[in-house]
Amino acid sequence: MSTISGNIKHLRKQHQWTQGDFADRIGIKRSLVGAYEEGRADPRLNNLLNMSKVFRVSVDNLLTKDLTRMDLKVIEALNEADGNMKVLSITVDQDDKEYIDLIPQKASAGYLNGYADPHYLEEMPKFQLPNLPRNATYRAFEITGDSMLPIKPGTVVIGEYMDGLSNIRNGKCYIVLSKEEGIVYKRVFDYTQEHGQLFLVSDNKAYSPYRIDASDVIEIWEAKAFISMDIPESTEDDLNFDDLKNIVLELQKEIIKLKN
């Protein structure tokens, strides 16, 4: 069974609709719903758009994500997260090339309110780096605290904008902007399909990992580079790869407990 056929059947049953009920809602014959669910036919674009509206799920999630293991609450959280991350303001130079806007520590609180406001970004420092690919949007954040040692407080981390959570690579570093936590720089593990949540892990093992709801995420930027006046030095207290694997195993055990 294909992803789309399984998703259609699962979502219809989650809403407790018969094939006839669903067919009426999107304006097609009941037999065509059966063909979609059995993988004998693929929905045309207009029918996909109608399904997206009826299910309140994006077309991208319908086509690419396995939703069959999620209940409606988790699916709605996933969809809300993708919806929260659609508005992005940028600044450009006279040749229409994008700047990298820098969000200093002292301006990070205001970023929560001004992230989508072009006037806010106009006031921020900005620069360009010639060695970054030009087919993406970048932003720079001055990080606080020592949770990601050996990256020290005051380091500027440059992130590439992600327009959704579906491309998160587990264990990679991201700058996450969320309603409750503000701006944080962490390693991220994606458990949106199981629980509608992201797990955030610090490289400094003195800090415990924690979870945030996917629906709480406003922006996420994949870390691509950093600028620092301090040259990082490895110490015995820093989190090594084995420690990181152990933390992930503990998170997986916690998930199993939640399922039970």
Domain assignment present for 239? yes
Total count of domains within the chain: 2
Q: What is the pLDDT of residue 41?
A: 92
Domain assignment present for 80? no
- CATH code for the domain in which residue 48 is found: 1.10.260.40
146 and 62 part of one domain: no
Q: What is the pLDDT of residue 63?
A: 86
Q: What is the pLDDT of residue 126?
A: 94
Point out the residues of the chain with pLDDT beneath 50.
none
Task: Provide the angle, in degrees to the nearest 10, between the axes of the packed helices 19-26 and 45-55.
Answer: 110
Q: What is the pLDDT of residue 255?
A: 78
pTM of the model: 0.63
Q: Which residue has the tokens 């999107």?
A: 26
Which two structure tokens, joined as six digits, stand for 227?
Answer: 């600028």
- 3-state class (DSSP) for residue 105: helix
Q: What is the pLDDT of residue 34?
A: 94
Residue among 124, 255, 121 at smallest CA distance from 189? 255
Pairing of strands 173-178, 138-142: unpaired
244 and 195 part of one domain: yes
- For residue 217, what are the β-bridge partners? 178
Give tens-digit pLDDT for 143-177: 999 999 888 999 999 999 998 787 899 999 999 99
Q: Is the dihedral of CA 3, 4, 10, 14 positive or negative?
A: positive
Q: What is the pLDDT of residue 234?
A: 58
Q: Which amino acid would we find at residue 70?
A: M
Domain assignment present for 77? no
121 and 232 part of one domain: yes
Gap between the Cα atoms of 191 and 196, Å rounded: 6
Q: Which domain holds residue 38?
A: 3-68
